[in-house]
Amino acid sequence: MEEYADLHCHLSGSIAATTFSVKATMPLDEYLGSPFSEVEHRHGNHELFDSDVQELANRVKHYTEIRFNPLRRIKAGLSLLDMASSMILAMRANNRLKFIMTLSREDGVGQYGEAIGVLCQAPFCGIDLAGREIPDDHELNPAWFRETAGFFRDVGKHIGVAYHVGETGSFESIRRIVGVLGGVRIGHGLGLVSAPDSFYHDYRFSVEVCPTANLKTLTATDSMLRTHIRRLMYHQTPFCFNTDSPKFLQTDIVREHFIGEGLVQGSASYSRRSASRMRFTKYVDEQSA
């Protein structure tokens, strides 16, 4: 049987030191606010960043791709050299642990030049874009989209590309991204429930499904998630279940598969099979072969 893999997991929501948790539900805008920024600020201190990353390396049991925003941590005071050193030590201690760079829509296109500098010195296996989709709806802004799509397309020649989109239900935003970033891994992608059947066959992409995160942030209902998963399986689109932020959301990767299986029978094994093909380390190996 294929092993579990968590491919959509935020560092801020994963560290043992966090005291924040969502016990019931919380609107997405509120959830994306202070809980994440507080950890980013904490990680301006190298000793705290290092202890959190090393603790995570000691705790991770399954293949896990941890994503975080390095630019915001650097802005808070963390040096790039110290950050890279901590990441390397953590991966040496646990070869099941990898890192994805996350950027945020709110930080604009000016961040892309700085991101290139970080990617040249820190061992990230992939890059991701997160942040609020609504009300700004960045992907529908021609100038912003042109710069962003070009940056991710260029970076994607060297490392894996993930992209939070459709979390709040916009299919048009998904369509635009998938149309220019072949093979992109979509974070959440709930807007796909509105996609025509032809879309799944015309484009190449995979989906990171995060059941607990969507249910607790009120971006999906059980019924919507069930439809989302069934359509992915029907069209043989690769997807996997993920924790998103296990400490914030009080979950783990085994529980996410249990929830998914409860929604759609057979989805847990489908997820594990897909995850083995969706890993960014595999993607990078194939690109460099």
Model pLDDT for residues 195-226, shown as the tens digit of each residue: 999 999 999 999 999 999 999 999 999 999 99
DSSP for the chain, written as a single string = -PPPEEEEEESTTT-TT-----SS---HHHHTSHHHHHHHHHTTSHHHHHHHHHHHHHH--SEEEEEE-HHHHHHTT--HHHHHHHHHHHHHH-TTEEEEEEEEGGG-TTHHHHHHHHHTTS--SEEEEES--TTT-GGG-HHHHHHHHHHHHHHTTTSEEEEEESTTS-HHHHHHHHHHSTTEEEEE-GGGGGS-HHHHHHS-EEEEE-HHHHHHTTS--HHHHHHHHHHHHHTT--EEE--BSHHHHT--HHHHHHHHHHHSTTHHHHHHHHHHHH-HHHHHHHHH-
User: Domain 5-288 classified CATH 3.20.20.140?
Assistant: yes
What's the pLDDT band for 111 if we cut at 50, 70, 90? very high
pTM (two decimals): 0.94
**Where is average pLDDT lowest: 24-28, 113-117, 259-263?**
24-28
Q: What is the pLDDT of residue 23?
A: 86
Q: What is the pLDDT of residue 288?
A: 37
Q: What is the pLDDT of residue 1?
A: 55
What's the pLDDT band for 32 if we cut at 50, 70, 90? confident
Domain ranges of the chain: 5-288
Over residues 68-74, mean pLDDT: 98
